[in-house]
Amino acid sequence: MKSNAPATAALNPVRPTRAIELIRPCWDAPPNVQALTSTRRGGVSAGEFASLNLAGHVADKPEHVAMNRALLCESLSLPTEPVWLTQVHGCRVVDITHPSGRCPTADACVSRQVGQVCAIMTADCLPVLLCDDAGRVVAAAHAGWRGLLHGVIETAVAALGVPPGQVHAWLGPAIGPDAFEVGPEVREQFCAHASQARDAFVAAGSRRWFADLYLLARQRLAALDVERVSGGEHCTFSDQERFFSYRRDGRTGRMASLIWLSQQADS
């Protein structure tokens, strides 16, 4: 006889095995600026997506992604659901101060609205979080090598609309300089843009180079006169316990870097 009883999964929904682990910037941002990066720990996804995968485009179970996002929002008491971008390794920035409810196609976002959460997803690419001295505007940028090359940091800083001397930047977890191997065409493109980019590449064998995303980002920020830059101490490739890494695993999940204003800045 066919049973009409609910499925076991419905009776016993998947629960995380441990608390969500987060990394918070050590920077001199205003107190009303909230920022963090998730790790892979504390979610419900399984297998190569274990466990806090926050991306819906990587073949993870949609219900697991939804639960992971809900867990993140709940653990942080987020004022709103983050605006999840459709990232394409470009340099377009979108203003989410008044979100449309859709997933914008962009690789950076900016907000001046209290409680509106900017989000970037990564698994080796560099997340860059930005804010101003006054705590009135925040931004997040997805800076893989293509985005870095084509100016995603420059467009994100410009979107803040404040003098560069008032900008704080934090470089979140990305693939480290001892693990990110690229071909000569990548090095040549960066060096054609700025000769100092040569300092960010170390020979890795026959026509191969190790690239330092952190240094390339710092160079771009310095060229904009953004001097207060923090972070850059993690390697997603080498720390398999804490981070997803596309270069290391191929089929894998994504972390998220979030930034938002928790209250109105003082006038």
* Helix/strand/coil (H/E/C) assignment for every residue in 7-61: CHHHHCCCCCCCCCCEECCCCCCCCCEEEEEECCCCCCCCHHHCCCCCCCCCCCC
C-beta of residue 31 within 8 angstroms of C-beta of residue 135: yes
Q: How far is Cα 119 from Cα 117, in angstroms, rounded to an integer?
A: 6
Residue 265 has a pLDDT of 81
Q: How far is Cα 147 from Cα 126, in angstroms, rounded to an integer?
A: 10
C-beta of residue 243 within 8 angstroms of C-beta of residue 236: yes
**Tokens for 168?**
């704080």
Element housing 157 (H / E): helix 152-160
Residue 77 has a pLDDT of 94
| pLDDT, tens digit only, all 267 positions of the chain | 333 333 333 444 566 656 899 999 999 999 999 999 999 999 999 999 999 999 999 999 999 999 999 999 999 999 889 999 999 999 999 999 888 778 899 999 999 999 999 999 999 999 999 999 999 999 999 999 999 999 999 999 999 999 999 999 999 999 999 999 999 999 999 999 999 999 999 999 889 999 999 999 999 999 999 999 999 999 999 999 999 999 999 999 999 999 999 987 875
Map out the domains of the chain with their CATH numbers. 28-261 (3.60.140.10)
Q: How far is Cα 148 from Cα 174, in angstroms, rounded to an integer?
A: 13
Long-range CB contacts (within 8 A, 24+) of 157-162: 157/130, 157/221, 157/224, 157/226, 158/93, 159/93, 159/95, 159/108, 159/110, 160/110, 160/130, 160/131, 160/132, 161/137, 162/132, 162/133, 162/134, 162/137
Bridge partners (DSSP) of residue 130 are 139, 169
Pairing of strands 181-182, 201-203: unpaired
Question: How many residues does the structure list for the chain?
Answer: 267
Residue 15 has a pLDDT of 67
C-beta of residue 138 within 8 angstroms of C-beta of residue 119: no
Residue 16 has a pLDDT of 67
Residue 263 has a pLDDT of 87
Bridge partners (DSSP) of residue 36 are 258
Residue 266 has a pLDDT of 73
Residue with tokens 């980019």: 197
Q: How far is Cα 256 from Cα 244, in angstroms, rounded to an integer?
A: 11
* Cα separation values, 37 from 25, 75, 169, 217, 248, Å: 8, 13, 14, 18, 20
Q: How far is Cα 250 from Cα 267, in angstroms, rounded to an integer?
A: 48
Residue 152 has a pLDDT of 98
C-beta of residue 53 within 8 angstroms of C-beta of residue 68: yes
